[in-house]
Structure 1
């Protein structure tokens, strides 16, 4: 079950409680769900009871108790517990894994994308600054994934090398006739020149840091080792492709099925992907997507060794399920890199 699906489930449970007369309140259009913080329990938590307690004329914990009781009746939810002043902690029943993996496989690299277009429009205006233009270019891609039509303008025509090496695109340049909100990540890099890294490493070097951080543009971004997060992501993707090839040699293919407890972190990362894309689009923050891809790659690599049979072991349903999960991880990694304008090679 993805966060979006769980949000709809929470709203459905609350509406059932209202329809049954257990509460009297207007149910909002959206319910916020998120991973619990340090020390929290369950797979997700929601603050919906706190949000509507005032309108319901009931203490938040009472509203949370009603909501949690209704949630336990919903398919895909093992149990829901009231915590704190009125939060509801939700534990999925473990059957959400196959459904999530099947959804990723069905949507492909468009998993997490919004279709059809929402009709929303966005205008991004940048100074004549390499990092600002690259961030605007990636933000355009992410916003388009969320159904938003985007126009990018800049104070001056991008340098020819920016276009040739990094493939950035600006729809118009010059001083706009009316003031626009300027997208300016600071500070910008100075030396060494990020273009010397090549298109993929240069884009990563400029997109990965938070907007207020100095981007590092040294040769560490080209290192083929664990300390380089871009390498880990691309290596993880290449590993998923290799697992598919190796499985074919062993005579089996992927099939979503029950997942192991060791896959919890990876399933969580895959399930969070649509929310990460939506947040990165809303906040014009491609660095959020870069950090999510690092998390996804690390979660996959931690359990990649379990995918194929060992020794004389025969392929089983568990191996087919793990392979399906690995392929879903590869799909998310490749799709995420594509939105950043970075390639995902099948071989490293």
Structure 2
């Protein structure tokens, strides 16, 4: 019996007490079921009686006593004890806990998945680095975390579209084009231009594609470098994302918002709603009416449209495509952007609390021997995603970036994350999966197979280490749901490390395979199921993080 199933059993007991008039309360939609720290307190504990006592107008222990009788009568429960102020400690019947292993193996890749977010259509925008240079290490954090959040949301039943917003309009693209043009003509980098050897590389590629580009007039040259340079840079960004295991469903061009008239339509809509005014020759959105600290310019006095105008059109485009919620991931340097974007959403007539979510991530530092890693020769001033992958590999990079809460700045120690030892967290988790794979291979060599679910006696899994492992496996669906709800993939990583440790302790204590000439027993088979169940959860958890689960290491 999994914790989720036990929650339903507890709700059923409450409903039964309500139906017969013993309790006058609303049956809760959800109840807390957790593992007690002390195993002597049973397999699981719930505080449902404490939660219901006030509404019932009765002492918590009295409610607990009443529910204990109903719970004890439920199939799969051996005993229910009332503890402290009204906690219910639940001991499962023999074999009920062991069924978790059967359920995990039988469900396979589906184990842990729920339908909690079924029916929700979410647009998840992340990375969205300007196509003026390679993806840097800050963008790599959003690549790892954003993709993991997308996988978590899908595991909870949501319909998720991963989207990359291409900032291919505006002043930074002009600076990029001038930088390429200068490099191609052997001129110094413009004062506000981009440096790094990648600029020379792209400029050379443009010249190779358009051999006569340097013979054209200045404006035409710049347009060629703008168009071809952005296309080449974007192609490289796409490759780097794909190599990092991140696939975007939509690559959305900011420039297309102008070409299709979406920006003009957005401004017209906001003007019709009475939120736009003119002052000092500029066009403004009155965002202070919606909690912003100042109004925002949509069109400058010189007629140039601002990024904020593009944002208005882009948000409305997403909503027009049918997304219930727009989730945007931004770096710490964009934290001041939250207030104005919420105001924008409110100005369109939407509810920012319902239709918008902005996540802010902190910085990433790459260290070696405690010192910052040198800047990238190619980028000139920053550490690139490619530098991180070259240093520790894709699996370690994705795991390291997703392992900490995004509101924390992290230091990635190259020496630690490149080691093949147990102090490297990703190695520790992957090794547990490889160890189990080895056990299953050895079992097959001995002629041992799992067999059908009806052929295994999981009631034999009564050792303390076996029970610990079963309960840990049973927690996986709750961990995934909570991580999805909180947008916190680091919870999955920390859970996997705990699960790996729990498995290693089980393996060191409980012999799985027979030795020498020993005949295989039903206990051997039951323990093989437990191993297979653990491997299933390790695979599913690593998959959520976009990390492989090797069978050999």
- Matched with 1:339 is 544
Aligned equivalents of 1:116 and 1:277: distance in 2?
A: 11
- Matched with 2:466 is 263
Instruction: Look up the SS of the partner of 1:296 in the other structure.
Output: helix
Instruction: Look up the SS of the partner of 2:357 in the other structure.
Output: coil
Instruction: Look up the SS of the partner of 2:518 in the other structure.
Output: coil
Instruction: Look up the SS of the partner of 1:97 in the other structure.
Output: coil
Aligned 8 A contact 2:114 2:477 in 1:
no
Q: CA deviation at 1:222?
A: 2.4
Aligned equivalents of 2:488 and 2:155: distance in 1?
A: 14
Aligned 8 A contact 1:123 1:152 in 2:
yes
Q: CA deviation at 1:217?
A: 4.3
Q: CA deviation at 1:37?
A: 4.3
Q: Is 2:15 the partner of 1:15?
A: yes
Aligned equivalents of 2:484 and 2:240: distance in 1?
A: 23
Aligned equivalents of 1:149 and 1:125: distance in 2?
A: 14
Q: CA deviation at 1:172?
A: 4.0
Q: CA deviation at 1:161?
A: 5.6
Aligned 8 A contact 1:126 1:183 in 2:
no
**TM value normalised by structure 1:** 0.92
Deviates more, 1:36-45 or 1:94-103: 36-45
Q: CA deviation at 1:130?
A: 2.0
User: Which digits, 9 at most, give the CA deviation of each residue in 1:75-132, with x for residues without a partner?
Assistant: 2222222223222122222312332111111110210112597111233344542212
Aligned 8 A contact 1:125 1:182 in 2:
no
Aligned equivalents of 1:88 and 1:294: distance in 2?
A: 29
Aligned equivalents of 1:176 and 1:325: distance in 2?
A: 51
- Matched with 1:97 is 97
**TM value normalised by structure 2:** 0.59
- Residue pairs, 1:151-230, within 5 angstroms: 151-154=161-164, 156=166, 159-160=237-238, 162-170=240-248, 171-173=250-252, 176-177=311-312, 178=315, 179=341, 180-190=356-366, 192=373, 193-196=387-390, 197-211=392-406, 212-230=408-426
Aligned equivalents of 2:405 and 2:467: distance in 1?
A: 27
Q: CA deviation at 1:167?
A: 2.0
Aligned equivalents of 1:260 and 1:338: distance in 2?
A: 30
Q: CA deviation at 1:248?
A: 1.7
Superposed CA RMSD? 2.3
Aligned 8 A contact 1:166 1:199 in 2:
yes
Instruction: Look up the SS of the partner of 2:28 in the other structure.
Output: coil
- Matched with 1:83 is 83
Instruction: Look up the SS of the partner of 2:8 in the other structure.
Output: helix
Q: Is 2:495 the partner of 1:292?
A: yes
Instruction: Look up the SS of the partner of 1:96 in the other structure.
Output: coil
- Residue pairs, 1:31-50, within 5 angstroms: 31-37=31-37, 41-50=41-50
Relative to structure 1, the CA distance from residue 98 to residue 265 in structure 2 (aligned partners, 3 Å threshold; closer, same or farther) is closer
Instruction: Look up the SS of the partner of 1:79 in the other structure.
Output: strand
- Matched with 1:318 is 523
Greater C-alpha radius of gyration: 2
Relative to structure 1, the CA distance from residue 44 to residue 290 in structure 2 (aligned partners, 3 Å threshold; closer, same or farther) is same
Relative to structure 1, the CA distance from residue 117 to residue 181 in structure 2 (aligned partners, 3 Å threshold; closer, same or farther) is closer
Deviates more, 1:249-258 or 1:100-109: 249-258
Q: 2:152 aligns with which of 139, 142, 150?
A: 142
- Matched with 2:448 is 252
Aligned 8 A contact 2:114 2:481 in 1:
no
Q: CA deviation at 1:156?
A: 4.5
Aligned equivalents of 2:240 and 2:57: distance in 1?
A: 58
